[in-house]
């Protein structure tokens, strides 16, 4: 098992073993998220793109809110929750 290869998101260190972990989306996941957002929010497309939303939600909001803790992500190495 290896750490997730993210294109959008952030890295955090496990408080149990110290290993670096990734929280976020791969490029394929990001593109799917963006397409879904654009489909669900056509009225916003004049002002925002799906990829802009991905960037904001994963590179800014998720990091500020330490979403890996809120979602209780597990360390890829030691399998303990954040």
33-70 pLDDT, tens digit per residue, is 999 999 999 999 999 999 999 999 999 999 999 999 99
Q: What is the separation, in whole angstroms, between the first and last Cα of the chain?
A: 18
Domain ranges of the chain: 13-70
- How many CB atoms are located within 10 Å of the residue 50 CB? 21
User: Which tokens in the block code for residue 59?
Assistant: 């590179």
pLDDT at position 6 is 95
Backbone φ, ψ for residue 70 (5° rounding)? -60, -40
- How many separate helices (H) and strands (E) can be counted in the chain? 4, 2
Q: Which residue in this structure is represented by tokens 């890829």?
A: 76
Is residue 1 over pLDDT 70?
A: no
Strands, E assignment, the chain: 8-13, 20-25
pLDDT at position 2 is 74
Sign of CA dihedral 7, 3, 17, 66: positive
Q: In this predicted model, which residue has the larger pLDDT, 82 or 66? A: 66
Q: Percentage of the chain surpassing pLDDT 90? A: 91
């Amino acid at each position: 098992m290896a750490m997730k290869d993210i294109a959008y998101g952030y890295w955090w260190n496990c408080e149990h073993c110290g290993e670096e972990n990734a929280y976020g989306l791969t490029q394929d996941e990001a593109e799917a998220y963006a397409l879904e957002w654009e489909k669900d929010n056509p009225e916003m497309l004049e002002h925002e793109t799906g990829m802009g939303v991905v960037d904001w939600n994963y590179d800014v909001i998720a990091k500020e809110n330490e979403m890996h803790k809120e979602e209780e992500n597990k360390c890829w190495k030691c399998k303990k929750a954040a």
